[in-house]
């Protein structure tokens, strides 16, 4: 608990978490207002899934926040002080990952339910009630995805130790690489099915039960992952934890 408290203090005494949290909320809720507000009274109408249309932009900002939580320590040399005070580097880095993940979880839930609430205010006549498990996962699951994405970004930050490099890699991968993989002739679609953020999308959207009105799709395209929602979450979490384990192992063997 002491390590978690130390990491919490270090995180919240800098400005970047506050700014990133604000940007995440503005992007996700603002984008939800834009999409839902411009949905027609007929088809396509607003759905629970369409209120979460902007969560991907929030994911990118959360990863920036998480990467900075690590790389700024390397930049200013405080990571060396941390490792001198806590020789067991794995515990220190794991504590940082937990704190950042919890922050990502909170921001994700606030942004997701905030987006959903804005959707209800703008389109009170639309079918936006959380009446099924699929609806609840589509909204509440955003916080889980943000938490795991934050841990992934911490791992990348540990491996690269450079703010610009880590942020560039994370943003390029999340916003471009997975989509471009589909353009590879022959095997592109097969590879895309197993890309981490595509699988995370499958966890949120499932088979599209919260993404349709009267059986007609009205939201974003669904993930092409063959996994069920539960296995999709397990797969995404597994990829993140393996990457974190590799990053901690590397950090133990090199100079701070």
Q: What is the pLDDT of residue 229?
A: 92
pLDDT at 61: 94
Check residue 222 and report its DSSP letter: P
For residue 80, pLDDT over 90 is answered with: no
Average pLDDT over residues 239-255: 92
Backbone angles phi, psi at 247, to 5 degrees: -65, -45
Q: Specify the pLDDT at position 256.
A: 60
Mean pLDDT confidence for 184-212? 86
**pLDDT tens track for 106-129:** 999 999 999 999 989 988 888 888
At residue 159, the pLDDT reads 94
Task: Report how far residue 86's alpha carbon sits from residue 237's, in angstroms, rounded to the nearest whole number.
Answer: 27
Give the domain extent around 236. 2-253
Task: Supply the pLDDT for residue 104.
Answer: 95
Answer yes or no: are the C-beta atoms of 199 and 236 closer than 8 Å: yes
pLDDT at position 215 is 47
pLDDT tier at 147, thresholds 50, 70, 90: very high
Q: How far apart are CA 191 and CA 182, in angstroms?
A: 8
Q: Are 159 and 250 in contact (CB under 8 A)?
A: yes
Asked whether residue 152 carries a pLDDT value surpassing 60, the answer given is yes
The predicted model gives 75-89 an average pLDDT of: 84
Collapse the DSSP code of 193 into the 3-class scheme (helix H, G, I; strand E, B; otherwise coil) and give the result.
Answer: coil
Query: Mean of the per-residue pLDDT values for the chain?
Result: 87
Alpha helices in 38-88 (DSSP H): 55-76, 78-85
Q: Is 85 buried (19+), middle (13-18) or exposed (0-12) by CB count in 10 A? A: exposed
Going by pLDDT thresholds of 50, 70 and 90, the confidence category of residue 100 is very high
pLDDT of residue 212: 56
- Alpha-carbon gap, residue 188 to 192, rounded angstroms: 6
CA distance 121 to 124: 6
Give all strands (DSSP E) within the chain, no chain letters: 212-213, 216-217
Contact partners, residue 131, CB within 8 Å, separation at least 6: none
Give the pLDDT confidence score for residue 209 in this predicted structure: 66
CA distance 201 to 9: 32
Q: What is the mean pLDDT of residues 228-236?
A: 94
- Structural domains of the chain, count: 1
Q: What is the C-alpha to C-alpha distance for residues 127 and 159, in angstroms, rounded to an integer?
A: 45
- Please report the pLDDT score of residue 231 as a whole number: 95
**Which burial class, exposed, middle or buried, applies to 15 when counting CB atoms under 10 A from its CB (0-12, 13-18, 19+)?**
exposed
Residue 40: pLDDT band by 50, 70, 90 thresholds? low
- Whole-number pLDDT of residue 103: 95
Q: What is the pLDDT of residue 220?
A: 60
> Predicted confidence band at 216 (pLDDT cuts at 50, 70, 90)?
very low
Distance CA 113, CA 29 (A): 9
pLDDT at 160: 93
Contact 63, 152 (CB under 8 A): yes
Q: What percent of the chain has pLDDT over 90?
A: 50
Please state the rounded mean pLDDT for residues 9-30.
89
């Amino acid at each position: 608990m002491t390590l978690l408290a130390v990491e919490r203090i270090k995180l919240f005494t800098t400005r970047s978490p506050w700014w990133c949290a604000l940007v995440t909320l503005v992007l996700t809720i603002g984008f939800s207002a834009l999409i839902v507000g411009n949905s027609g009274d007929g088809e396509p109408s607003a759905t629970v899934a369409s209120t979460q249309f902007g969560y991907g932009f929030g994911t990118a900002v959360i990863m920036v926040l998480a990467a900075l939580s690590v790389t700024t320590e390397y930049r200013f040399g405080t990571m060396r002080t941390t490792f001198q005070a806590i020789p067991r580097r794995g515990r220190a880095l794991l504590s940082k990952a937990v704190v950042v993940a919890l922050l990502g979880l909170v921001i994700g839930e606030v942004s997701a339910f905030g987006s959903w609430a804005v959707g209800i205010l703008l389109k009170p006549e639309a079918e936006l009630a959380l009446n099924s498990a699929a609806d609840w996962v589509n909204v509440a699951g955003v916080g889980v995805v943000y938490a795991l994405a934050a841990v992934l970004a911490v791992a990348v930050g540990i491996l690269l130790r450079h703010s610009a490099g880590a942020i560039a890699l994370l943003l390029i991968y999340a916003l471009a690489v997975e989509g471009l993989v589909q353009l590879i002739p022959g095997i592109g679609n097969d590879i895309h099915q197993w890309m981490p953020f595509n699988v995370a999308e499958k966890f949120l959207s499932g088979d599209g039960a919260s993404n349709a009105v009267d059986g007609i799709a009205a939201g974003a395209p669904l993930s092409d992952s063959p996994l069920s929602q539960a296995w999709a979450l397990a797969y995404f979490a597994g990829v993140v934890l393996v990457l974190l384990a590799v990053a901690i192992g590397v950090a133990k063997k090199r100079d701070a």
